[in-house]
Amino acid sequence: MTTKTKAEPKSSGVTNGGARIVVDGDDEVLSPTDLSEMLAEGTKDSHDKAENCQFVKDFLRGRIKRELFKRGTAALYFVYAAMEEEIEKNEDHPHIAPIYFPAELHRREALAQDLEYFYGEDWESQISLSAGTKPYVDRIHEVGQRDPVLLVAHSYTRYMGDLSGGQILKKVAQRALKLPSTGEGLNFYQFEGIHSQKGFKQLYRSRMNELELDAETKERIVGESNRAFSFNMMVFTELEEIGKTIKEEVQDAGLGHSHAEIMEGGDINKCPYYAAKMVASGNPTYACQLAMTLLTHPPCQWALAAWVALLAGFTAWYIL
Amino acid sequence: MADMDADTAAHTEPSVEEEEPFFSNLDLLLFSLIVGLVVYWYMSRKKPEPIPEFKKLDTAAPAARETSFIEKMKKTGKNIIVFYGSQTGTGEEFANRLSKDAQRYGMKGMAADPEEYEMAELARLSQIENSLAIFCMATYGEGDPTDNAQDFYDWLQEIDDEDLSGLNYTVFALGNKTYEHYNAMGKYVDKRLEELGAKRIFDLGLGDDDGNLEEDFVSWREQFWPSVCEHFGVEASGDDSSIRQYELKEHTDLNMNKVYSGEMGRLKSFEVQKPPYDSKNPFLAPVTVNRKLNKAGDRHLMHVELDITGSKIRYDSGDHVAVFPTNDSAMVNKLGQILGVDLDVVISLNNLDEESNKKHPFPCPTTYRTALTHYLDISQPPPHQRPLRAGPGKALYHSWVQGACRNILAILEDMPSLRPPVDHLCELLPRLQARYYSIASSSKVHPDRISICAVVVEYETPTGRTNKGVATNWLKNKLVTDNGHKSTVPMFIRKSQFRLPFKTTNPVIMIGPGTGIAPFMGFIQERGWLKEQGKEVGETVLYFGCRYKNEDYIYQEELEEAEKKGVLTQLNIAFSRDQEQKVYVQHLLKNSKEHLWKLIHSDNAHIYVCGDAKNMAKDVQTALQDIAEELGGMTRTQATDYVKKLMTKGRYSQDVWT
Ligand SMILES: Cc1cc2nc3c(=O)[nH]c(=O)nc-3n(C[C@H](O)[C@H](O)[C@H](O)COP(=O)(O)OP(=O)(O)OC[C@H]3O[C@@H](n4cnc5c(N)ncnc54)[C@H](O)[C@@H]3O)c2cc1C
Ligand SMILES: NC(=O)c1ccc[n+]([C@@H]2O[C@H](COP(=O)([O-])OP(=O)(O)OC[C@H]3O[C@@H](n4cnc5c(N)ncnc54)[C@H](OP(=O)(O)O)[C@@H]3O)[C@@H](O)[C@H]2O)c1
Ligand code: HEM
Ligand SMILES: Cc1cc2nc3c(=O)[nH]c(=O)nc-3n(C[C@H](O)[C@H](O)[C@H](O)COP(=O)(O)O)c2cc1C
């Protein structure tokens, strides 16, 4: 957790690693070929990487600029608008109907409200589909039109994630950005139609497992889910890059009042805490810069995105 | 990231997942009630002593170094320092609130970032009279400290010969239960300071951000301050406003249109009903059926139907209906009498803590009568009261209130010396909660009505009183027409994940003794409807249990009819008291284990359990594990995992309550 200039705590014999999606590897007893288990198992590595990429890590520490959060919300809006449009179109498809939970899951409206909060009434004219988000959105439309069963993967990757780590992100964002406790700007994270997230995830898993799919299709869904993870990493990487060009003061709530006192009428760079933190956190950017360079070449975008995201995540994970 | 697997974490918790927040909430509120009453009682016996003054101790101190908190405290006359280890600001906010609190108790506090001070000075804090260090410590990563507490943490680990014996301290930990290393940092600081000789003057508080961190903090703080006062031998400043969270305002010239009369959110929402309906805006559903289900016996099991025509309310079988009951008016009047107050005075209780986003304890302005009728729980004796740590009321309250099931009325009746002001009582009583019922109908068959199956709660207390369940007795008296008026029930729907399989051919195994049959009446209706639509429907097996065949075999006709029609492929009933030996649903499960195992293991059956969480649900789970062990050839551990995994994958669902 710490900045790398500081020693790791010595007490507990901790290991580094991501949130464990605990699924025993070698469980022969109860249908390990169920899609829910294949997905959890088959996206474990992607999940570790996603969680450990720099942008996500910074976010989790409450280091998120308002501008970036707004852009992230806009990116999510395009992704969910695409995903929900395709799901609606395929609502009666035998592979979509069992996992069709518009009242419980759909986020487009919530994101629109958040964007209105951040950008004002003409939010639609102020946001645009970014280069890092476009491949994701394009892919969703592509599978929606050509291979709807793969929407299962996209929907799993986002909704199940939102129902898991999303709640942590909500609290972090609320505090870091000093958003009102009444939830404005954070509707995305608030699933009004779901009382127990744990219970709902169980229902969702049971529905995925009720889909009539052959082994090959299940494998393809796992593959597509890993791809969806990579697309998410691309979005994060892009945000991180943009973040470097934004000169907004870090909304670090941890600095709080004491920081405000020091900084009264002062220069932020004189703050020893701030300076130390900048030095410490400015490091593992090489991989990301590389990613951005490649991303500016449209033909390479696609093939390389996954690799770069992987690399960035890995580097970040390794260095920190 | 730490291990945050929500499912794994939940395995260690009781299976009563649905009920938990409600009860911990209740605990908390009841606890504050008790503490409040104890403090009140204690204080009302003693004359307040003069408040000691914590004046500047050393005005002649040399120009202090910036990193010396001791110098700063001396200069500014503080005796309490609140350090925070905080990343996103919660811990810091709590620290600020605690330091402000101090004033109310005649002390002076300051919040401090451990990174900005020389923490080794803790050894010298005793230079300041009546000094105390409070630590609000959040945990991150894999049980790690926050950035700003890292140096402090390192220092704590390194020092071995430091003697902190003059240091008074207490710790409030901020964490999240879904992490493996829950509150590791707070726990470490608490333990380590003790090892180094410091004196813990109040027990570690554990805040859980997965539950309700704010409430954890508030309840800790409410116990903490009286204890500090006691420790330093000071009285909280004079009048009891010091222990009040809310300030009373009486309204004399308020238009009654601006006064809440039982609404949960919007004023007049009961007069002008507007969808969508939810917990803040319940729908007033007319009662269309209210009949007794049991044929004999001294209990009252009832079937109630609510009409939701025109409400735009939609539900699925398996969902819950929430109802907002009201308290017995005779009890409310009696309270008013005992306290000698005019219940129709219009009041507001306003939070003294302006930073809190809870402005009032219940919708205000309102009358005492409305508050005691609609908003406050006046009939529940404390169910699982946390043991009181210290103070004069400990023995008294523990056995006297909890042991004897005394509710607030009984407490006041039996303790004539205790006459708190009614507004104080309104502040301390817990909120009257909505009650949930598993919907006993299918929307496919009855889109415009919702059925409830419930048993009336009534029991004798050790003091010879009869305690009556609020909601069930209120429902029992909701006759279809009441003096020519329709009886209505304020209600809303809570979606659940207790759902029939998507594929109608998948078998279902339903286990629900007693009122646990409720959602299965909906399931059976729905499977019957599907069959009528010409759908192929899989096996539908029910395990029901009751006491006597001739007394409480509820829905007998409906169930036997469903069996005749082949909607229920198996109807298994355990009559527990018709013979010498108890026969329960789990015994019947064992009797048909081969068939059950085939349905579960080979045919993808979904298992549903509903009803009592305390014993039945656990016993049923054990029975199913036994079957898996025996017929699946598994070890005990494998069988346990097998069943757990069925749960994770949504093929073993529970709808249980205590
Ligand atoms: C998700 C969910 C679904 C539910 N579904 C149903 C349902 O379908 N049908 C149904 O009938 N109920 C159901 N319940 C329970 C229901 O919500 C109420 O709790 C119940 O009806 C009692 O409410 P009450 O207001 O009448 O009793 P309360 O006034 O709340 O009194 C109940 C309390 O009294 C105490 N008490 C009761 N008996 C005794 C005793 N013998 N000795 C000492 N203390 C005692 C206990 O503390 C108990 O909690 C469900 C609960 C949940 C959470
Ligand atoms: N007040 C009480 O005494 C009491 C007791 C139990 C539960 N409750 C609560 O009351 C609520 C509703 O109860 P209810 O009236 O619907 O149920 P109920 O009628 O009291 O019980 C239904 C059947 O379940 C049986 N049973 C008892 N313990 C069991 C166990 N461990 N496993 C399987 N079956 C068991 C009962 O047998 P026997 O009664 O013959 O043992 C009875 O035949 C439940 O939520 C429960 O928490 C109250
Ligand atoms: C921000 C950092 C993240 C944190 C803290 C986090 C945390 C978690 C946690 C605690 C779980 C619970 C596992 C369970 O319930 O079994 C989970 C599951 C999941 N997460 Fe994340 N996550 C993060 C990022 C992501 C990202 C970026 C994605 C993809 C876009 C994602 C997708 C998922 C999915 C699909 C699951 C469901 C696993 C399953 O049950 O099959 N997560 N996450
Ligand atoms: C990334 C992250 C990691 C966390 N790790 C833990 C942990 O290991 N153990 C724990 O008890 N709580 C953990 N928490 C919960 C926080 O300690 C909790 O939310 C706390 O209220 C944060 O306080 P702060 O706002 O003062 O920083 C974690 C929170 C986040 C965001």
What would the 3-class secondary structure string for B314-366 be? CCCCCCEEEECCCCCHHHHHHHHHHHCCCCCCEEEEEECCCCCCCCCCCCCCE
Asked if A306 contacts A230 with a C-beta cutoff of 8 angstroms, the reply is yes
For tokens 């329960």, the residue is: B584
- Give the range among A150-154, B246-250, B300-304 with minimum mean pLDDT: B246-250
The three-class DSSP label of residue B216 is: helix
Q: What is the pLDDT of residue A167?
A: 74
Whether the CB of B143 sits within 6 Å of ligand 4: yes
User: What φ, ψ does residue B489 adopt, rounded to 5°?
Assistant: -130, 120
Tell me the two tokens of residue A309.
């995201």
**pLDDT for A31:** 65
Q: Which of B88, B143, B147 sits opposite A175 (nearest CB)?
A: B88
Give the closest of A20, A202, A258 to B648, CB-based.
A202
Is A30 an interface residue toward B (CB < 8 Å)? yes
Q: Decide if pLDDT at B453 tops 80.
A: yes
Nearest to B223 by CA among B78, B489, B412, B39: B39
The helix or strand, by DSSP H or E, that contains position B284, with its residue range, turns out to be strand B283-292
Q: What local confidence, expressed as pLDDT, does residue B499 receive? A: 97
The string of pLDDT tens digits covering residues A40-61 is 999 999 999 998 999 998 998 8
B633 CB-contact burial (10 Å; exposed 0-12 / middle 13-18 / buried 19+): exposed
pLDDT band of B50, cuts 50, 70, 90: very low
Report pLDDT for A165.
Answer: 79
Place of tokens 């302006």: B354
Closest to B424 (Cα-Cα) out of B326, B319, B480, B341:
B341
Kindly tell me the sign of the dihedral angle through the C-alpha atoms of B73, B76, B82, B83: negative
Residue B37 DSSP label: H
Amino acid B58: pLDDT: 38
pLDDT classification of A109: cutoffs 50, 70, 90: very high
Query: Strand B366-367 and strand B435-438: pairing?
Result: unpaired
B540-546 and B652-657 as β-strands: parallel, antiparallel, unpaired? unpaired
The answer to whether the beta carbons of residues B210 and B139 sit under 8 Å apart is no
Q: What is the mean pLDDT of residues A153-169?
A: 91
Q: How far off is chain A from B607, nearest CA to CA, in Å?
A: 12
Which has more pLDDT, A257 or A159?
A159
Whether residue A47 contacts residue A21, with contact meaning beta carbons closer than 8 Å, is answered with yes
- State what percent of residues in chain B have pLDDT above 70: 86
- Compare CB distances from A29 to B86, B604, B642 and report the shortest one's residue: B642
pLDDT at A60: 86
Nearest CA owner, ligand 2 atom 22: B514
Highest mean pLDDT among A144-153, A264-273, B350-359: A144-153
- Dihedral sign for Cα A155, A156, A161, A167, please: positive
Q: Does residue A297 register a pLDDT over 50?
A: no
Count how many Cα atoms sit within 13 Å of the Cα of residue B70 in the half-sphere of its side chain: 15
Rg (CA), chain A: 20
pLDDT score, position B183: 96
Rounded-to-integer distance, Cα B307 and Cα B305, Å? 7
CA B229/CA A196 separation, integer angstroms = 41
**DSSP code at position A160:** I
**Is the CB–ligand 2 distance for residue B571 below 6 Å?**
no
Instruction: Identify the residue among A202, A252, A320 best suited for mutation to test binding to B, counting B beta carbons within 10 A and taking the highest.
Output: A202
Cβ <8 Å between B144 and A2: yes
pLDDT of residue B17: 39
Rounded Cα distance, B444 and B526, in Å: 6
Residues from chain A contacting residue B436 (CB–CB below 8 Å): none
Ligand nearest to the CA of B438: 1
From B612, B616, B618, B655, the mutation candidate for ligand 2 (largest count of ligand atoms within 8 A of CB) is B612
- Ligand 1 contacts CB of residue B322 (under 6 A): no
Q: Can you tell me the distance from the alpha carbon of A86 to that of A101, in angstroms, rounded to the nearest whole number? A: 13
Weakest mean pLDDT among A74-78, A96-100, B50-54, B647-651 = B50-54
**What's the CA gap between A97 and B47, in Å, rounded?**
71
Instruction: Report whether B452 contacts B307 (CB < 8 A).
Output: no
Contact A237, A312 (CB under 8 A): yes
More confident residue, A113 or B236: A113
Which of A155, A164, A196, A239 to mutate for ligand 3's pocket (most ligand atoms within 8 Å of CB)? A164
Rounded Cα–Cα distance for residues A62 and A69 (Å): 11
The mean pLDDT of chain B is 87
Percentage with pLDDT > 70 across chain A: 68
Quick one: what percent of chain A has pLDDT higher than 90? 55
Residue B658 CA to ligand 1 center (angstroms) comes to 7
H-only helix segments in B184-248: 184-195, 213-232
Contact A274, A268 (CB under 8 A): yes
Res. B235 pLDDT band, cuts 50 70 90: low
Q: What is the average pLDDT across A87-116?
A: 98
Any idea which of A306-310, B223-227, B405-409, B482-486 has the lowest mean pLDDT?
Answer: A306-310
Neighbours of A5 (CB within 10 A): 10
Mean pLDDT across A213-235: 98
Which of the pair, A271 or B467, is modelled with greater confidence? Answer: B467
d(CA B240, CA B607): 55
Strands B366-367 and B346-351: antiparallel
Q: Is the ipTM of this complex over 0.85?
A: no
Which phi-psi region, left, alpha or beta, contains residue B512 (left: φ > 0; alpha: ψ -120 to 50)? beta
| Number of Cβ within a 10 Å radius of residue B264 | 20
Interface test with A, best of B98, B147, B625 (most A CBs within 10 A): B147
Burial of B76 (0-12, 13-18, 19+ CB in 10 A): exposed
Check pLDDT > 50 for residue A92. Answer: yes
Confidence category of residue B141, pLDDT binned at 50, 70, 90: confident
DSSP code for A252: -
Q: Give pLDDT, residue B37.
A: 56
Q: Of the candidates A57, A59, A52, A62, which has an alpha carbon nearest to the alpha carbon of residue A315?
A: A52
- Work out which ligand 2 atom sits closest to the CA atom of B613: 47
Q: Which of B4, B143, B646 sits opposite A19 (nearest CB)?
A: B4
Report the sign of the C-alpha dihedral through residues B551, B553, B554, B555, in that order: negative
Ligand 2 pocket residue status of B553, Cβ below 6 Å: no
- C-alpha span between A275 and B631 (Å, rounded): 65
- The whole-chain average pLDDT of chain A stands at 77
Residue with the smallest CA separation from ligand 3 atom 28 is A161
pLDDT of A53 reads 92
- Give A159's pLDDT tier (boundaries 50, 70, 90): very high
pLDDT exceeds 50 at position B229: yes
d(CA A317, CA B597): 45
CA distance B431 to B441: 30
User: Is it the case that residue A260 has pLDDT exceeding 70?
Assistant: no
For an interface test with B, give the residue of A33, A45, A159, A206 to mutate (most B CBs within 10 A): A206
Query: Is the minimum distance from the CB of A18 to ligand 3 under 6 angstroms?
Result: no
Give the pLDDT confidence score for residue B104 in this predicted structure.
Answer: 78
The H-or-E segment that residue B200 falls in is strand B199-200
pLDDT at B33: 53
**Terminal-to-terminal C-alpha distance of chain B:** 35
* Residue partners of A30: CB distance under 8 A and separation at least 6: B642, B645, B646
Using a CB–CB cutoff of 8 Å, tell me whether A199 touches chain B.
Answer: yes
CA atoms within 13 A on the CB side of B108: 16
User: In this structure, are residues A73 and A117 in contact, taking their beta carbons and an 8 Å threshold?
Assistant: no
Nearest to B124 by CA among B75, B76, B164: B164
- Say whether residue A33 is in contact with chain B using an 8 A CB cutoff: no
| B263 pLDDT above the threshold of 60 | yes
A239 token code pair: 């945000």
Question: Average pLDDT in the B559-568 region?
Answer: 98
Nearest CA in chain A to B2: A19
Confirm if A79 and A192 have CB atoms less than 8 A apart: no
Which region among A288-297, A311-320, B254-263 has the lowest average model confidence (pLDDT)?
A288-297
* Residue A141 in this model has a pLDDT that exceeds 60: yes
Phi, psi of B274 (to 5 degrees): -135, 125
Q: Which residue would you say has higher pLDDT here, B179 or A205?
A: A205
Total residue length of chain A: 320
CA distance B451 to B289: 9
